[in-house]
Amino acid sequence: MRIRAFLIISSAAVALCTGAGGQPAAPSEIDAHIAAAKAAAGLEFRGTFMNLCLPGGGPGGGRAGAPGGRGAAAPGAARGANPALTGLLAPRPAPDRATWYASPYKVFDNLYWLGTRQHSSWALKTSAGIIIIDTNFAWATQPEILDGMKKLKLDPKQIKYVILSHAHGDHDQGVATLQSKYGAKVIMGGPDWEDTLKRPAEAAGGVPKRGPGDISVGPEGYKLTLGDTTVNIIFTPGHTVGTLSYVFPVKDKGKTVMVAYSGGTLTGAFGSNAARWDEYIDSQKRIAQAAKDAGASVILSNHSEYDNAYTRARLVAVKREAGEENPFIVGADGVQKYFTVMEECATASKLRNNAK
């Protein structure tokens, strides 16, 4: 299976790079980056590898079929285009609940998974309130975030901040509700805030307002401290112009564990825009370094296909045998491998697209 996948990738890469105009990169160079990504991915990060390294991965490609529409995960072709206004925001009915509903799970002492089977939201509980990370589609706000919190005995009135990794509907449609109902302050990358504020009022989930206490994060990043917890927010543009990633501590049976959160993944819309590829690759290096500096041993994302959150969340509930760790812990080396997959696949794809 793995060998077959590799052969398909190799032959496709060869076919593509001979078809590009200008002076295409040598197939061996592309293959070398794909091989490096494949080695780093192993079985652990297979979804990330498949979606980022395979030609056609990304918008419309990769693994399709996520409720709510794949297009919602990666819209917005050109840099500067407003992905928020390209169709994903139109209110749409919730898909058949049998295809997406997942129970909520406490995954660390102070971190709770509130996702659907495809997309994740997280609640980080601190000594001074709750931080919600990403908010999923509007139709998931009540059943997954609010009802999920209730099931886990978390009070939504304690939500102090919502941090959005980026302004795409599959991660941000719930935010306006959390802001207007509970007074949560909203944190977003500056350019994504600007895009969000241009949305029409009838956008799915509504449009959050930017007022006092809401935060626009720029290239310098931001450290959010709430009670006993500090989230180191890293500006990692690429997937969108204002994508954010994070490093923060959680407790596992009392022991501090550092988490790296990868805010945006797909690259399928970059085409031949070298600057955009370079920005994305640079961002991966930056978050990888921050994760390394903090000793992060957990990698989280907002899609279960990248971090297996849905599977891991359920495994947390299973009795841990002696010597077994929390299923979310992949080790510091594992976290670095994840970002190696991101960087190497992007580098291969940039060459394949003959980006200039």
CB of 169 to Zn ion, least distance (A): 8
- Which residue, 269 or 355, has its beta carbon nearer to Zn ion? 269
CB of 50 to Zn ion, least distance (A): 17
Binding mask 168-207 for Zn ion (x = CB under 5 A): x---------------------------------------
Q: Does residue 119 bind Zn ion (CB under 5 A)? A: no
Q: Does residue 350 bind Zn ion (CB under 5 A)? A: no
Contacts with Zn ion in 153-172 (CB under 5 A)? 168
CB of 303 to Zn ion, least distance (A): 9
CB of 66 to Zn ion, least distance (A): 12
Q: Does residue 303 bind Zn ion (CB under 5 A)? A: no
- Which residue, 120 or 336, has its beta carbon nearer to Zn ion? 120
Q: Does residue 33 bind Zn ion (CB under 5 A)? A: no
Tokens 């009392």 belong to residue? 254
Torsion sign across C-alpha atoms 263, 266, 267, 269:
negative
CB of 59 to Zn ion, least distance (A): 9
CB of 348 to Zn ion, least distance (A): 21
Contacts with Zn ion in 45-84 (CB under 5 A)? none
Size of interface with Zn ion, in residues (CB under 5 A) = 1
Binding mask 250-289 for Zn ion (x = CB under 5 A): ----------------------------------------
Residues that bind Zn ion (CB under 5 A): 168
